[in-house]
Structure 1
Amino acid sequence: MRIRTVLLLSYFIVILLSITLVGFVSFYISYTTMSERVESAGLQLVRQIENNMDNDFHSKRNLLLAPYNDQTYIDGINRYIEMNDQEKFQFRQRLGDLYLKSFNVTPIRDFIRFQIYYNNGELLSSSDARKPWTPSQVRNSDWFRETVAKDGEVFFSGSIPQQADEKNAEVAAYASSILIRDYSNPDRFIVVRAEYRTSLFRSIGQNDDLSLSSKIVILDENSRMIYESGDSTDTGLAAELTDRVTGREGKFWMNVDGDKMLASYTKSGYSAWKAVLVTPREEIFGSLDKIKTTVILTALLAFVITFFISVLFGQRITQPILNLYKTVNRIKRGDFSLRVKVDRNDEIGRIGMNFNAMQDELQMLIETKYLNQIKLQEVELAMLYSQINPHFLYNTLDSIRAMSDYYKVEEISIMAQSLADMFRYNTNNKDEIVTLQEELVQIDSYLRIQSIRFEGKIVYRQEIDEELYSASLLKMTLQPLVENAVFHGIERKRGKGTITISVSKEDSRIRLTVADDGVGISDRRLNEIRESLRPPIQQMNEPRPAQENGIGIANVYSRYAIRFGDRFEFHMDSKKGVGTSIMLLFPPFEE
């Protein structure tokens, strides 16, 4: 990933996290604060509605208690059954006038009508010409039984039964009724019932603190809807409130037809009716939605600004690094003529100046040391191809002289022929890369001579995959390793010794192993040899011991390490009294 891309992503991530964190925290705080305020305000409003409703209900109750102010009305109730028709008519007239006067003296804007019933269901008086229910209908009605059960407490009813001939009559929204009697004669009483419009609730709903989308809902004692503000009635809202409005007061969120709403409610301790305020979520958190939109737009704007800033500053930061990268590639290809252009004094400019200085020093080092060392290694390698170990030559000549004393003509012939083959192979400088088969022929000649010298002490084995005889090797790979096995392993061992050459395929590389079961090497000496096997570039300034005047293990290691680098592996293992094993693992030579 390019640095410019990393910077761009970093800017985006930082700004995204910052805006997201600030937006989330601010939105959460605003949401929580606003929610708490709205819920508190909702409860205060419904408490105010409940208070206004209770005050109005108290006033209506007091109007219904008008007969208690005059004992003659109570006496009339007690002896109504014993009255003659004229007395009954006069009593009904006076009772009706009393309530007409009460409702007219204290005007009630939502008042529609009143009826007065005796305990047997007989209609005593009414404020309009409405056709009365039969006594049986009155006695069996829910409101009458509930009023009697209240035993002197006012009963507020939201279910107003309508008679068949009242299609054109004004329908009441609710009614209040009370039982009036002399406590000394409880079986004789009257029930006064007054019916009202929804004017009270409409006036309550015209509160300046209410939003346009909010609704006021009034539920009676049995959670039946009495009033719902607004132009339309929502049946889903009524069903939701009926199930969930319980307890003295509370608040909850609900979903109605896919819209989320907050409902705050209180229950009147006087009438047991519930006042509910329903506010849509959009009405409450509409401003928060604007904040959310503003945050999103701000984030988009920040991303655009970030993009231009990252491009502008990223180019200023990455362009010098890109120039430095191009210069490194030129050096990688061997071109040391290009220098990094330095036109700034910050850290990147200092890196460029130091890189130019390093490049100058590296070029001088290569020209004065590395190239000379390579030439020197080439000369040494050419000399090694044309020479043979003097110690080996002297011993071979001594053996030839000794055998000639005994006139062993056949052995002298074999050694002379093998020695000639080896000289011919070593002095042939035409190819540096040879096949495994050619190397094995050389090793056969070498070991024939050594077998004659050591009188059959050396046992030679090959474990080679058939298809690898044509594999390529560097010339003089096997002889230094086999020679090391002969002189440092088998020669010092009592009795016979075995040298095994193994060549196999390991994944996509060639595995070559030369092992012997000779005397082995001590751990200290083995560590010294391993320490000396380092890349050639690290060995250029190290002096070579005077005794290293032949091709040895270090030379084989260096030649393969120079050619293959990290793709080449070299392992040398040995144990005193057990033997030594040298393994080379390298890729095939390119054609």
Structure 2
Amino acid sequence: MMNRVRKSLKVKLMLSFTVVIFVIVASIAWFSYQEISKSVKGDIVKFSSQILKQANLNLERYYQEYEQGFLQLGTSREFEEWLKLEPEDKFGFYQYYYGRSDGSGMQRNYILPLVFRHPEIMSITLKSNRGNEFHYTSRYALLNEYSLDLEPWIKDSDKTDKVLMRVVNNPYYLNEKQERQAYLVMSMVKRFGKFEDAGYLKMDVSLKPVQAILQEIELGRNSVGMIADKDGKIIVHADEDKITQPLSADWKERMYGKSRGSFFVKETDEMVVFETLPYTQWKSIVVVYYPTVAGSVERVKTVTAVIAAAGLLLAVLLVFAVMSPITKRITNLRRMMKRTQMGDFSKRLPIDGKDELTDLSQSFNQMLENLDDKVQQLAESKMRQQKAVLSALQSQINSHFLYNALESIHSMAILSDHGEIEQTTINLSNMLRYTSSYRDTIVTVQEEISHMLDYLKICQIRYSDALTYEIHMDKTCENRLCLKAVLQPMVENAIKHGIETAGEAIHITVDVSLREEQVYIRIQDDGQGFKPDILHRLQLQLSSEDEIDKYDEITQVGILNVNYRLKVYYSQRSAGISVCNSEQGGAVVTVTFPALNRYTGDGGSS
């Protein structure tokens, strides 16, 4: 049995997954029951606290929006001017309350938008020390004889610079039937202004939104939410008969003096959780009937056991159903790889399914099909490398013959006293020696400049005064390493398109500089420059990655050839060639490559 387990991947996976699933399911079931049994009271407290916090956030938002709109009205320019009006100034009252043509007005800019956002606002009262008093009502009207003078507690607002808030039973309202009726409201009062130019602003808000928020708290049967003010009087409750009644002395002792907390009332089996509203210092309270919640523990135990057993059985069946075809395909792949090791490439894996193993099987079959092609390509690559080496050796032999011929011409030029022929043969011999050394692909910038100078001297002998040049090089660039034969093709293009094509004299300027660990070689002429269409096409070719992949199609030894060699050798975006026309006329070619002091070998740099 153990030997089969060690050799069979299918058996290992089945046993491993079954054990892991059993341990996980059993652990979850056991810990779930234990934790539910031990911490049901704590869960009630935490859950109730979270609900209270969310309810408090909603209540805080309401209170802050009330106060914000209240203060905006009280500090408005229109209200300040209204406080200064005499009672007989009816026109001024109309201007500052209803508004003028300039868009001002308390009702339009402050009262109506505030009531629109909060339709629970029942009335807004404005009263000045000069005797003016005005009442705005929304749904329920106020008695004609109503005045702030009937509510002596309003004077308490003189003792604080904050908005005074009280929950009162206001008996001065009229209901829909125009009958006098008392409503429980939250009144906000504040004194504004100074001396004679002062007054009061009062706003009554219905407590129905607060009651709606508390009614949304659902913590089981017989649970209830309420709010008590700073004195311990119930101001919001689902049962209206409880409103204005005081909390029990025991509850007040346990709650007041603390910002939040909970306690258990043994006599009634109730869990009481409370939070303090920071804005008003009122207490939001949730009372949960404990047996309602605790009675679900046994049901949770039974349901957890049934679900755990069913889940374990289902998991084992799913593991068997899923793993069987997978392990079968892995076994086939293993068998096929052993045949391949023995040199048998004739068989192919069956393709079934659409998963990762299917992709692996297809890739393995494709690998077998392409194996002969890859071997053939490798053999052909080796042959091309051998041909390249033989060609280079043959080129070296041909170059040796040319050296001897140039030395003979040089000797005859000396004997005949032909200085130009002598200089030309020397420069040409230097160029041939420089380019025919196929082993050295990297030279110093100074050596590359010298090679370019040999070419320029030959051309100057040929074209005489039609060609002039100047070279400026930063001393720090002389010993930096450079890819061979990148500058001579650039000046050759300038001469070809300037003197040979246009038939005009040309001056070439070469600037070599070092910036940010990059060597910049700028080659500029004073010719006609690139034609717009040619310049655009050449810039696209130099910036295109596709041109590098098409190197076999680049037959000319010019800008594209040199750009390709720079890109391939340095493998950096910063290496390469850029072209443009100068503002003074003429073409500008800039060769850029890293400023290196040494190189790692063929095809690499550091």
> Same fold by TM-score, threshold 0.5 exceeded?
no
Name the TM-score, length of structure 1 as normaliser: 0.39
Bigger Cα Rg: 1
Name the TM-score, length of structure 2 as normaliser: 0.38
